[in-house]
Structure 1
Amino acid sequence: MTNPNTTYICPDCGSSEHLEVVVHKWARVYQNEDGDIETDTDDAQDHSDDWDDGSQMVCRADGCGKTGSAAAFRQ
């Protein structure tokens, strides 16, 4: 995980409240009789989620939609 004191701001619109990032997260895998596979993050023993400067980030502020690496949003 990145330093919690780091600020992330959209370089296009300046929003810091509408950012989303792709994370890696552990999940329990379940396979039913039909072969369908489902996941459940609540049942996983490790509830951590990891991301870094290379993770993809998007700004969901109205009219924005800027995408890029987390590093591009770091101030």
Structure 2
Amino acid sequence: WDTNGKLLADLKGHQNYVRSAAFSPDGQRIVTASDDRTAKVWDTNGKLLADLKGHQKEVNSAEFSPNGQRIVTAS
């Protein structure tokens, strides 16, 4: 969304609730965490860039490192 309430992108792809979303430090990517046991990385147009799989339970949060080179997930 922009600050006026206009939808800019619809991030579709998770199969369950999304628990968190965060921008990369440069504002060019978004990481989301979901109850579908994945985290996903998107560009700001809504294109899926990476599907992070491996958790055995729901992913509660995901964040970029300060330099934007790594992502940490919590399940």
TM score, norm. by length of structure 2: 0.39
More helix by share: 1
TM score, norm. by length of structure 1: 0.39
Question: Which structure has the larger Rg?
Answer: 1
More strand by share: 2
